[in-house]
Structure 1
Amino acid sequence: MDTANVIPINVGHIQDVQELNKTKPTTIPERFVRDVTERPSTLDTTTTTDDIPIIDLSKLMNGNDPDDFHTEILNLTTACQEWGFFQVVNHGIDLSLLKSIEKVVKDFFMLPIEEKQKYPMKPGVVQGYGQAFVFSEDQKLDWCNMFALGVEPHFIRNPKLWPSKPADFNETLESYSREVRKLCQNLLKYIAVSVGLKGDVFEEMFGVAVQAVRMNYYPPCSRPDLVMGLSPHSDGSAITVLQQDKGSPVGLQIFKDNTWVPVQPITNALVLTNGRYRSVEHRAVVHRESDRLSIVTFYAPSYDIELEPIHDLVDENNPPKFRKYNNGEYSINYLSNKLQGKKNLDFARI
């Protein structure tokens, strides 16, 4: 480890990166400094790749042109099979609502620390304000503040964590979450069609789907080459929808062909169907001068559901790669381990 840019701190003392950033530190606290092998590369994160798939949802939903529908289904198949990630355009969510949710979330993060700490993310829990997936005193911390809330079904909510400020936060989040839920349902319908299944197969399989939102704020960092905005991982949900402040620097990177590819996404889809459609490993990096905001919605099957590879997608030539398991047990396993690449898939792997 490069100790020249490290200062020792008391464990658990300086963990709020916004407050830390206000001090204009010239050195980075040790608990945030990654080992050389874990640091982001010097890749120019202002560039993106034109190869990242873009799906026009209107061509799937309107159904007016069979050729357009077929072409877009093929695009979706390629996106899920080769990338595990895609951007969605013409998704149907009102742009004014997207701006509104960005504003109230940014306003929340700009509140005094004393106000945000009224909604603490307690150890081992992923709702509230703080840092998630931290399980040991020597674990490295991400250069990120998080605010996470359970949305649906209502029993997963903790009403004490829904903030009173900004005044329109809760109403805006409710409206936004309803629209994103519709988007997830539509995406799953066409993902099912893309693998030759009936469009309603996932809706029936999922039961009352679980939906949660995590808001991430990445302050500037004087040494972005030493820290990680969000550790590499793949999500535990069926679909993850990512929105970020359009004025933000590119921070999201996905791992493809042994390379970290920088992207500026609208949404991304992460679906597991016996390894045919793979969840993408991704991470976030930070910027020296600019902050970044992202709003992430996770959409997953009911905790009561037993999951296994879909029977229509396995045969003697393509045997199951994952065992049958309870999604609630998987969720507990996922949430009780630190973010670590795709390691959490080992829970269900045969």
Structure 2
Amino acid sequence: MAPVPTFPVKVGQIDDVQELRKVEPSTIPERFVRDLTERPSSLATALSPPGGIPIINLSKLMKGNHDEFHNEILNLATACEEWGFFQVIDHGIELNLLENIEKVAKDFFMLPLEEKKKYPMLPGTVQGYGQAFVFSENQKLDWCNMFALGVEPHFIRNPKLWPAKPAEFSETLETYSRDVRKLCQCLLKYVAISLGLKAETFEEMFGVAVQAVRMNYYPPCPRPDLVLGLSPHSDGSALTVLQQGKGSSVGLQILKNNTWVPVQPIPNALVINVGDTIEVLTNGRYKSVEHRAVTHKEKDRLSIVTFYAPSYEVELGPMPELVNENNPCKYRRYNHGEYSKHYVTNKLQGKKTMEFAKIQTQNST
């Protein structure tokens, strides 16, 4: 198979948004200016609904009485079916660890460009510093700097990309990733229960799960109406865990009923979303939802995103228990590694990557 042609963004002053802000603080280069249909105002943007996206209290699932557990499982099912997103509180990850990972992430992005360039995101990869999902020279760029690393299993790591500065970066990320991994395993047990499946269903199916982290830094933007911080997409993972930096601007928006709904951060909560993998396994009952990031004129934003997915060797498809006459099979069986490769070698375009998994009818071929 011929390699996928790539045109990676060269990390330099022209296309690194932090450097742009230093050199020409009021200018938006054409490469970042979106077409009219893609701009943040292209679809209606709702005010945050009362209460916002659903909130799940993990301690009620782990330690609550019968009624609390039952109610929270129903809340989880509703969140996954109707929103594809929820915020989890009482998640068990220490507050000081959340603060520490934010600090080392921010400290990394504040390093001189020459230091960050030691960890470049190479062509056709999604690890390192730069912009991922860029495949053509005329493709619009996101108003964002990214730093991404493979974490588990160890063979997906590229040790040369783990930074020497700040000095505590690697140790903090190891501890944080271990705790987030436990959280994902725990949440997937309750997702399984909410579907009427045995708690260990996903853990047994996934094998040694793949885990990666991506840190996103969005500097203030002089014209937030013209750019996107991150293009609309759904995640290829099973679950995604998002930590939004304290004091950051409200940047995450999810597409619900053809309207972009902003997600108001709850202090010390984590935002969880269902990925494409869970949509396929549940035959569309739980949905991966399109989301994007917008920018702010005066405030910056930091986010730390963990992706949790099955082993690359696993074959996936709708679970038989969730296929019936009322919900016929929507997706084919496929190798998860092949889907992952498909996902990272295509630009972010809403839910277009899901076409890889959909059963094609004669009318659509």
Deviations 1:315-346 (A, max 9, x none): 23322100000000000000000000000000
One-letter amino acid matched to 1:168: E
| Offset of residue 26 of structure 1 | 2.5
Name the structure 2 match of 1:144: 144
CA positional deviation for 1:46? 11
- Of 270, 273, 282, the residue aligned with 1:269 is 273
Give the aligned partner of residue 79 of structure 1. Answer: 79
1:123–1:135 contact (8 Å) kept in structure 2: no
Structure 2 residue 202 is the aligned partner of structure 1 residue 193 = no
* Aligned residue in 2 for 1:299: 308
Query: 81-90 vs 269-278, which deviates more?
Result: 269-278
CA-based RMSD of the aligned residues comes to 1.6
Corresponding residue SS for 1:103: helix
Query: Distance between the aligned counterparts of 1:37 and 1:139, measured in 2?
Result: 15
Q: Which residue of 2 aligns with 1:250?
A: 250
Q: Residue 343 of structure 1: which of 329, 336, 352 is its match?
A: 352
Q: Secondary structure at the match of 2:141?
A: coil
Which ranges in structure 1 are unaligned for 5 or more consecutive residues? 1-10
- In the TM superposition, what whole-angstrom CA distance separates every residue of 1:221-255 from its partner, at most 9, and x where no partner exists? 11111000000000000000000112001000000
- Between the two proteins, what is the percent identity of the paired residues? 75
SS in 2 for 1:19: helix
* Correspondence list, 1:84-103, <5 A: 84-103=84-103
Counterpart of 2:226 in structure 1 is 226
1:40-78: CA deviations, max 9, x gaps?
A: 02999996332410000000011x410000000000000
Q: Does the 8 Å contact 1:123/1:134 carry over to 2?
A: no
Task: Map 1:143-222 onto structure 2 (within 5 A).
Answer: 143-222=143-222
Alignment-derived partner of residue 16 in structure 1? 16
Distance 1:163 1:214 in 2: 14
Alpha carbons 2:54, 2:86 under 8 Å: kept:
yes
What SS does structure 2 have at the residue aligned with 1:269? strand
Q: 1:306, CA displacement in angstroms?
A: 0.1
Pick aligned residue for 1:290 from 290, 295, 299: 299
State the match for 1:322 in structure 2.
331
> For 1:68-127, what per-residue CA distance to the aligned partner results, in whole angstroms no more than 9, with x for missing partners?
000000000000000000000000000000000000000000000000000000121100
Distance change >3 Å, CA 38–CA 44, structure 1 → 2: closer
The amino acid of 1:318's aligned partner reads: N
Task: Please give the secondary structure, in 1, of the residue aligned with 2:53.
Answer: coil
**Which range moved further: 337-346 or 310-319?**
310-319
Q: Distance in 2 between matches of 1:46 and 1:203?
A: 37
Q: Is the 8 A contact 1:46 1:250 kept in 2?
A: no
> Could you say which residue in structure 2 is the equivalent of 1:4?
none
Equivalent residue number for residue 60 of structure 2: 59
| Contact 1:46-1:249 at 8 Å conserved across structures | no
TM-score (norm 2): 0.90
Note if 1:331 corresponds to 2:340.
yes
Alignment size in residue pairs: 339
CA distance in 2, matches of 1:156, 1:77: 32
Alignment correspondent of 2:363: none
Report the more deviating stretch, 307-316 or 261-270.
261-270
Shift of 1:218: 0.2
Alpha carbons 1:303, 1:327 under 8 Å: kept: yes
Is the partner of 1:98 in helix, strand or coil? helix
* Unmatched segments (≥5 aa) in structure 2: 1-8, 360-365
Corresponding residue of 2:121: 121
Asked if 1:35 corresponds to 2:39, the answer is no
TM-fit CA distance, 1:168: 0.1
2:239 matched to which residue of 1? Answer: 239
**Partner-residue secondary structure (3-state), 1:28:** coil
Calculate the TM-score normalised by the size of structure 1. Answer: 0.94
Question: Is the contact between residue 45 and residue 251 of structure 1 (CA under 8 Å) also seen in structure 2?
Answer: no
* Letter of the structure 2 residue corresponding to residue 317 of structure 1: N
Tell me the residue number matched to 1:3. Answer: none
> SS of the residue aligned with 2:272?
coil
Shift of 1:269: 2.1
